[in-house]
Amino acid sequence: VIGNLFSKDLFPERSRYNRRCRALSFAIKWIRHQLAKRGQHHAYAVVDSLPIELCHHARMYRVKRFQGIADIGYCASKKMAYYGFKLHLQITDQALPMGYVLTEASCHDRTAAETVMAQLPHPYTLGDKGYVSQALQKKLYDEYKIAFWTPARKNQRVAQSKKWKQWMKQKRKIVETAFSVLVDSFRITEIRANSVSGFETALDGILLAHSLVVLGLVER
């Protein structure tokens, strides 16, 4: 927040800030949700997941933090196992966060997809190959009127042109950029909270701050 919205001298110290956030957790969620509704008027949305590692790889079999809640999953981009959570996030083409779900690291993207997209359904949503499922696509369209587009896998008998694949890849780049900003500028993978409520409050605060920055840039 200090790095993106306010200067340090105009902001409370860390522990006081955390206490106020916990006391205002409902208000933070409500404000973020109201801002996220604006995303339904954006051109399209993208859904993807971000691994949130809670400890170093060498300690993941003996760590006690969030034991029984977090677990061990696999990060395909880094080609390594990790202990922690997985953030499933839907953002718009202008990087505005919409729906999100935090699950254990082992949760498959398809499992959380409906819960994420149903919070604020966008009629045009893109996903990667991890979301490929005809049953999921049909359910999203029948129940929420969401046209969910994903690239085809190599073993699928689906004809997709080269231009379509390139278009999908280009449009999905926004989620990679948004995740990079959330990690590097908003420290979303460095939340220090050791309780579920504290972790949730910190996550909501980060997404609210990011939403304010995005909307500020859009309105300019």
Cβ proximity of 200 and 118 under 8 Å: no
HEC string for the chain: CCCCCCCHHHCCCHHHHHHHHHHCHHHHHHHHHHHHHHHHHCCCEEEEEEEEECCCHHHCCCCCCCECCEEEEEECCCCEEEEEEEEEEEEECCCCEEEEEEEECCCCHHHHHHHHHHHCCCCEEECCHHHCCHHHHHHHHHHHCCEEECCCCCCCCCCCCHHHHHHHHHHCHHHHHHHHHHHHCCCCCCCCCCCHHHHHHHHHHHHHHHHHHHHHHHHC
Q: How confident is the model at residue 78 (pLDDT cuts 50, 70, 90)?
A: confident
**Which residue shows structure tokens 């790095």?**
3
Domain membership of residue 188 (yes or no) is yes
Domain count of the fold of the chain: 1
Q: How confident is the model at residue 219 (pLDDT cuts 50, 70, 90)?
A: low
Domain membership of residue 21 (yes or no) is yes
- Cα 95 to chain centroid distance, Å, stands at 11
Q: How confident is the model at residue 162 (pLDDT cuts 50, 70, 90)?
A: confident
Cβ proximity of 85 and 65 under 8 Å: no
pLDDT, tens only, 118-156: 999 999 999 998 898 889 999 999 999 999 998 877 767
Nearest-angstrom CA–CA distance, 76 and 97: 23
This prediction's pTM: 0.90
Domain membership of residue 150 (yes or no) is yes
Cβ proximity of 9 and 89 under 8 Å: no
Range of the domain at 41: 8-219
Cβ proximity of 184 and 203 under 8 Å: no
Give me the CATH number covering residue 158: 3.30.420.10
Domain membership of residue 3 (yes or no) is no
Look at residue 220 in the predicted model and tell me its pLDDT.
Answer: 56
Domain membership of residue 2 (yes or no) is no
Domain membership of residue 1 (yes or no) is no
Q: How confident is the model at residue 3 (pLDDT cuts 50, 70, 90)?
A: confident
Domain membership of residue 160 (yes or no) is yes
pLDDT, tens only, 58-70: 898 899 999 999 9
Q: How confident is the model at residue 112 (pLDDT cuts 50, 70, 90)?
A: very high
What mean pLDDT do residues 51-79 have? 90
